[in-house]
Amino acid sequence: MDGIVVFGAGGRAGRAVCAEARGRGLPVIGVVRDPERHPGLAADGVTVVRGDVTDPRAVPAGRWGVVQAAVGFEAGFFVRAVDALLAAEGVSRLVLVGLFADLVGADGRAVMEDPAVFPAEHLAFAREHAAGLARLRAVGGGVDWAVLTPGGELTEGPGRGRYVVGGDRVPEGAPGLSYTDLAVAVVDEVVVPTLRGARGAVWVAGCH
């Protein structure tokens, strides 16, 4: 593996993944739409490039672990991102950051389909995100992929360094984790895969 490419490197999840990977001595390319908005990334040792996750040419030639943490609000964004990443030639391992809203709740429905717990104003975005996951499951058989979905609220602050990866269901109590812990789990999953063609909820050990 030549290193890790992080799409959405300027966001909170993407920046945490970049920091974790650099802390392990891994070469990191951070892909953002506007590098001028993220001057601190290069100072952390990340090679920052302009690019879009919906363009398969944004993945450099080679064999890269690719992390998809980019967010878009336009219709079809997440499906187009999946299609581009599956078409890119430089992907040796693909890990996507999932969305809590499409985990399965105790009633057997996705969290986002329960109006008692999920805000209606965020439903369209959540469904777009879920469409990307559905697309990946339907056509991603030729790529070594995994989706890690936070099992609860993501918070700032230091990590505990201990996490659990489960399945598609909301973990009991919906325990959250920090962006730092999520980044540890994501980089671990890139470097030493445990999920193959699957999605898993991730939460902090000891909070379940």
pLDDT given for residue 173 in this prediction: 83
Residue appearing with tokens 């581009």 = 84
Taking the C-alpha atoms of residue 132 and residue 84, their distance in angstroms, rounded to an integer, is 11
| More confident of the two residues 161 and 182 | 182
> pLDDT at residue 200 above 60?
yes
Max Cα distance, the chain (Å): 47
Q: Which residues contact 83 (CB under 8 A, 6 or more apart)?
A: 54, 135, 139
- Provide, rounded to the nearest whole percent, the portion of the chain with pLDDT above 90: 86
Structural domain of 144: 4-204
Q: pLDDT of 126-148, one tens digit each? A: 999 999 999 999 999 999 999 99
Q: Work out how many domains the chain is built from and give that number.
A: 1
Structure token digits, residue 192: 């030493």
pLDDT given for residue 161 in this prediction: 67
pLDDT given for residue 138 in this prediction: 97
- Provide, rounded to the nearest whole percent, the portion of the chain with pLDDT above 70: 98
Q: pLDDT of 58-74, one tens digit each? A: 999 999 999 999 999 99
| pTM check: above 0.75 | yes
Taking the C-alpha atoms of residue 134 and residue 111, their distance in angstroms, rounded to an integer, is 16
CATH number at residue 18: 3.40.50.720
Q: How far is CA 96 from the centre of its chain?
A: 3
DSSP 61-116: SS-EEEEE-----STTHHHHHHHHHHH-SSEEEEEEE--GGGSB-TTSSBGGG-TT
Q: pLDDT of 90-103, one tens digit each? A: 999 999 999 999 99
Taking the C-alpha atoms of residue 188 and residue 136, their distance in angstroms, rounded to an integer, is 21
Q: Which residues contact 23 (CB under 8 A, 6 or more apart)?
A: none
In whole angstroms, how far apart are CA 30 and each of 41, 42, 99, 126, 162? 8, 9, 21, 25, 26
Taking the C-alpha atoms of residue 121 and residue 199, their distance in angstroms, rounded to an integer, is 25
Per DSSP, what are the bridge partners of residue 28?
A: 4
> pLDDT at residue 208 above 90?
no
Structure token digits, residue 156: 């700032």
- Region 193-207 average pLDDT: 89
